[in-house]
Amino acid sequence: MAIRAIRVIGDPILRTACEPITDINDHVKSLVEDLVETVDMDGRAGLAANQIGVGLQAFSYNIDGEVGYVLNPRVVALSEDEYQDGEEGCLSVPDLWYPTHRAWYARVEGIDLDGKPVIVEGEELMGRCLQHETDHLKGMIYIDRLDRATRKKALHDIRKAGF
């Protein structure tokens, strides 16, 4: 187990869709241990595998003291009538936060290390985290979801920060 370095915006792996996990082997088990250990720190809500340089569909979460992971996650439900527009940040875009439109509730299905089905769902911060991390696994960063004016400001701030 190791706390892994976080890749920052500009690293091509963050813009590459991750591959499904087809074989739960020692590499995948080690990846999950690293994801869980790396997300289990103050101020960290979620972490996708590509954020630590691994192009596989896996993420970990740390919401309200609940730490876990999902392999091959897919969003299967979003609230259709309740939304949130709160500030969102990302470990791969350090210290920059912008209002991001998300569904209030999200439900993700995937598998665990035993290949058994896993369901993770939640509202507000958990809902935001599930959407954010599954986006990462598709090669998206939250700034891709910003409205035009906010995205322009974010890209300016990113350049100014030297990422």
Q: Which residues are catalytic?
A: 133
Neighbours of 87 (CB within 10 A): 8
β-pairing, 93-99 vs 46-48, is unpaired
Q: Are 119 and 112 in contact (CB under 8 A)?
A: no
Alpha-carbon span 163 to 158, nearest angstrom = 6
Alpha-carbon span 19 to 54, nearest angstrom = 10
Encoding tokens for residue 145?
A: 């979801």
* DSSP classification of residue 8: -
Q: Are 60 and 35 in contact (CB under 8 A)?
A: yes
Encoding tokens for residue 131?
A: 């959407």
